[in-house]
Chains A and B, each alone.
Chain A
Amino acid sequence: MKFSTDHEYIRTEGNAGTVGISTFAQEQLGDIVFVELPAVGTALKKGDEAAVVESVKAASEIYAPVSGTVTEVNEALNGDPGLVNSDPEGNGWIFKLSVSDAGELDDLMDATAYASHTAQG
């Protein structure tokens, strides 16, 4: 699993990536009440706004950690957005994409680097 400085994670198998927000990010946002999912088929460039996570407090944009095309979205979040809080890196994933440039993954942080990034705040 790799992490962006904006607190998205991406888990890859081959060129299939699963994207969500980190445990740290969901703790910061607090109670999630709505997730605006991207449309399947959307072509995203790295850094594009892909989804919006709404907490009680505020709306937060979720950016594509790498370029790719959205292949699937987590429909379960429509009924239970709280999954992002309870299981952010598991059942609370947000969308899947086919990674178009695997080289971009090298720009992201591994878990150790991300832990140090969040510790610095």
Chain B
Amino acid sequence: MVETDNLLKTPLFDLHTALGGRMVGFGGYALPVQYKGIVAEHLQTRQSASLFDVSHMGQVTVTGPDHATTAAALETILPGELLSLKPGEMRYTVLLNDKGGIEDDLIVTRPAEGQAPDGILFIVVNAATKHNDMKLMQAALGDKLNFALHDDRALIAIQGPKAVDALARHSDITQKLTFMQAGPATIAGFYCHVSRAGYTGEDGFEISVANAHAKQIAELLLAEPELEPAGLGARDSLRLEAGLCLYGHDMNADIDPVTAGIFFAIGKRRRTEGGFPGADTVLKVLEDGPAMRRVGIRFDGRLPVREGAELVDADGKPHGHVTSGGFSPSLEAPIAMAYLPASVAALGNPVTAMVRGKPVTGTITKMPFVPQRYVRTLS
């Protein structure tokens, strides 16, 4: 058993242990890596739906006098197009350093009409980086905007094609949101902020709720036949199949968003206007093309090729490395994300990785490895 005494506990800690979750330390928090098994939980998510505790992530409220002021100020540190955010819209973007390297990836949400005073934006950031993000944001904009990190709120993700059916029995918010939209909902009598988003490639929702009510909301949802609890293990294999980057693995402070292949994190207007940290560097990489590219690889056979594995060229010389890799439960094959020189990073190209001194062959493959099933229009 993992010693959890020195780890932070989310409001769902007791529920995880009661449900048989195997707890591990993750970003300073005790969280379940699995319940029944990673493969079962992974496939449950793809076929029906799963509930994940993502309360370790940072939930930040940014307050300014009005939307234009708040968004314009944030645009000086984030390359996302935030001024044009409509009420209830969400945007994926990145926090950059002066070299254009990624300090974190995050999602900015403008509250729905009437949900909060104009000038407020919600940001969800990664657990391991949340305190550094706060420091960076406050240092840059603390005199213009107020930043509050909400340790008083939990975050529950329900992900999978049937998550909508389970949630619809408790709230009509499901009929109001498409992918990357958010709004308020009352679930079991409690105020929740619900977004139609997640990080598994499936349709799903993230529910932000006060810590005091999190367990009740989770139990209510887990009582629905579509939903089973799932752990961090399945969350990782799901996001890898979906071709989504994980901070600290597929991106870090030395990698710019163009090289990482997430240029959609830079708004269209921002690509001509610039005005964000490292803009000169990032826009030059965008124009010239990056030296290295993030690629998806499907390996032959069954041997997983994991993070850190070297990729070698035809002469056996290292020319790249795997940043996320594992066994895809949906494809029953090893898949990975890796950085390779742009000159060899074309779809269909052969790849050789070294695992324990032996070559493993594979092919550069289109991502996502498993089709995304986001709901973009309401039926």
Contacts and interface: CB of A to CB of B under 8 A. Distances in A.
Interface of A: 30-31, 33-34, 36, 52, 54-59, 81, 121
A52 B233 CA distance: 20
Contacts of B38: 30-31, 55-57
Contacts of A33: 302, 304, 327
A59 B304 contact: yes
Contact of B1 (A54, A56, A121): A121
Given A30-B37, A34-B304, A56 B356 contact: no
Given A57-B38, A59-B306, A30 B233 contact: yes
A57 B356 contact: no
Nearest to B302: A34
Instruction: Please classify how large the interface on chain B is, using the bins under 10, 10 to 19, 20 to 34, 35 or more.
Output: 10 to 19
A56 B233 contact: yes
A56 B33 CA distance: 12
Nearest to A56: B38
Contact of A36 (B42, B327, B356): B356
B326 interface: yes
Contact of B39 (A52, A54, A56, A121): A56
30 contacts: A30-B34, A30-B38, A30-B39, A31-B37, A31-B38, A31-B39, A34-B302, A34-B304, A34-B327, A36-B303, A36-B356, A52-B356, A54-B303, A54-B304, A54-B327, A55-B38, A56-B38, A56-B39, A56-B42, A56-B233, A56-B237, A56-B327, A56-B329, A57-B33, A57-B38, A57-B233, A57-B326, A58-B306, A59-B304, A81-B302
A54 B304 CA distance: 7
B232 to A, nearest CB: 10
Interface string B189-209: 000000000000000000000
B303 A34 contact: yes
Contacts of A57: 33, 38, 233, 326
Contacts of A121: 1
Given A30-B37, A30-B38, A56 B326 contact: yes
A36 B355 CA distance: 11
A54 B327 CA distance: 9
Interface string B282-326: 000000000000000000001110100000000000000000001
A57 B38 CA distance: 8
**Top-3 shortest CB links A-B:** A33-B327, A31-B39, A56-B38
Interface string B74-106: 000000000000000000000000000000000
Nearest to B2: A121
A34 B304 CA distance: 8
Nearest to B40: A31
Nearest to A61: B356
A65 B73 CA distance: 63
Interface in B181-223: none
Given A34-B304, A54-B303, 16 more contacts: A30-B34, A30-B233, A31-B38, A31-B39, A33-B302, A34-B327, A36-B356, A52-B356, A54-B327, A55-B38, A56-B233, A56-B237, A56-B304, A56-B329, A57-B33, A57-B233
